[in-house]
Amino acid sequence: MDFIDKKIQDYCDAHTNSESYVLKKLNRDTHANVLQPRMLSGHFQGKLLSMFSKMIRPKIILEIGTYTGYSAICLAEGLVENGKLITIDVNAEQETRIRKYIAEAGMEKQIQFIVGDAYNIIKTLPHNYDLVFIDADKPNYLKYYKQVIELVNPGGYIIADNVLWSGKVVDEKELAKDKDTQFLDEFNKFIQQDERVENILLPVRDGLMVMRKL
């Protein structure tokens, strides 16, 4: 997952605004008590997501894959007044933790957390979106994208996380044997050819594919 020299990343971290108290607390809690804490967006990527959201000023955000709620809080920082973020995760085990930190961040009115299968839940939501963040099960990235591209407003954005998959997408051996790597490579290639969006793949953390709907 680490593509940049540690000294350079440490320098970048040192010259990036620090986490809020609540995010720092959630970061520590996740690393101490939750399996696979590397799934957390964390300080640097979280600040980038917050900055993107503040630049876009979305009214409605959809997040597919909540984990412990760190990225949801970051993204919600850029919502316009009376804006809303809907975040969906299939794992009910983290619900208490997620709701606790959403409340501590003072975002209970802005963030709606839903437990269940995102693909089916999205069908029931009466919204179009200004920003969508995809950070869920890798085999279904393309399925989620094909679903939400129709729901994103023109000029709106979709951001997909983990698209470099620890660099495996450029490793022929991994591409030959690892299914998740194959799914992400297929996703990246599909986006590159999709004329409905303009896109840039950023080598930030584990790779962010940023797409703007035309």
Q: What is the mean pLDDT of residues 146-161?
A: 98
Are 122 and 94 spatial neighbours (Cβ–Cβ below 8 Å)? Answer: no
Closest CA to 101 of 60, 131, 71: 71
Bridge partners of 205, per DSSP, are: none
Q: Which backbone phi and psi does 40 adopt, to 5 degrees?
A: -65, 135
Residue 5: pLDDT band with limits 50, 70, 90: confident
What's the longest Cα–Cα distance across the chain?
49
Residue 22: per-residue pLDDT:
98
Question: What per-residue confidence (pLDDT) applies to 169?
Answer: 96
Q: Report, as an integer, the average pLDDT of 147-159.
A: 98
Mean pLDDT (whole number) for 141-154: 98
Please tell me whether the overall predicted TM-score, pTM, comes out greater than 0.85 for this model: yes
User: What residue ranges define each of the domains in the chain, with the CATH number in brackets?
Assistant: 6-213 (3.40.50.150)
Mean pLDDT, the chain, rounded, equals 96
Under the banding of pLDDT at 50, 70 and 90, the label for residue 116 is very high
pLDDT band at 61 (very low <50, low <70, confident <90, very high): very high
Contacts of 109 (CB under 8 A, 6+ apart): none
- Residue 1 pLDDT: 64
Whether 2 has a pLDDT exceeding 70, the answer reads no
The pLDDT, as a whole number, for residue 38 is 87
Please tell me the predicted confidence (pLDDT) of residue 4.
79
**In the 3-class helix/strand/coil scheme, how is the chain assigned residue by residue?**
CCCCCHHHHHHHHHCCCCCCHHHHHHHHHHHHHCCCHHHCCHHHHHHHHHHHHHHHCCCEEEEECCCCCHHHHHHHCCCCCCCEEEEEECCHHHHHHHHHHHHHCCCCCCEEEEECCHHHHHHHCCCCEEEEEECCCHHHHHHHHHHHCCCEEEEEEEEEECCCHHHHHHCHHHHHHCHHHHHHHHHHHHHHHCCCEEEEEECCCCCEEEEEEC
Neighbours of 177 (CB within 10 A): 11
Phi-psi region of 41 (alpha: psi -120 to 50; beta: other; left: phi over 0): alpha
**Average pLDDT, integer, range 116-138:** 97
Q: Is the pLDDT of residue 122 over 90?
A: yes
